[in-house]
Amino acid sequence: MNTYKNFLPKKDFQKIKHYMLSDYMPWYFSDEIVDNNFDYFQFSYGFIVKGSQNCNNFMMELISPIIKKIKAKNFYRIKANLLTKTGKIEKHPFHTDQATGTTGIYYLNNCNGYTEFTNNKKIKSEENKYVEFNSKLLHRGTSCTDEKIRIVINFNYS
């Protein structure tokens, strides 16, 4: 597992954050977070879903500084997730994103939400941080209680 703080230059990070927090970001409601678990909901945006790029070139250009820095050969999925504030930290089910390859999580804002692994390791949600790990590792995300939202962008690649 590798963790990179200040992953992007400030200018690139601010451009992505500004747009994704704006009224122009096309968030879509999903009444599940992990494998038909309807106890939780989130808003998401699929940049690349099941290997097919969304037709929105502007959105792909927006996250291109992240993509260039990752230097992956193939992206299987790139998806942004927005979770809303809850009264207490809600831990979502453990899962893997895919059977092989690498999973990366890019954190867009500071909050008390986190990513947790089955070995109890927790990665705090800190803006402009990127963590990558083997896609076979079970992990889960959480909600937050100290900010209105928690936003991450998930990358699955080889």
Longest CA–CA separation in the chain, Å: 41
Q: What pLDDT sits at residue 151?
A: 97
Q: What pLDDT sits at residue 131?
A: 98
pLDDT along the chain (158 residues), means of 10: 97 97 90 64 83 69 94 89 95 86 97 96 97 95 96 95
What is the pTM (predicted TM-score) of this model? 0.91
CA distance 106 to 77: 13
CA distance 10 to 129: 12
Q: What pLDDT sits at residue 99?
A: 76
Q: What pLDDT sits at residue 98?
A: 80
Within 8 A by CB and 6+ apart from 123, the residues are: 3, 105, 114, 115, 116, 129, 131
Q: What pLDDT sits at residue 124?
A: 97
CA-CA distances (angstroms) from residue 81 to 11, 53, 119, 129, 154?
A: 22, 17, 24, 15, 8
Domains of the chain (ranges; CATH) run 2-157 (2.60.120.620)
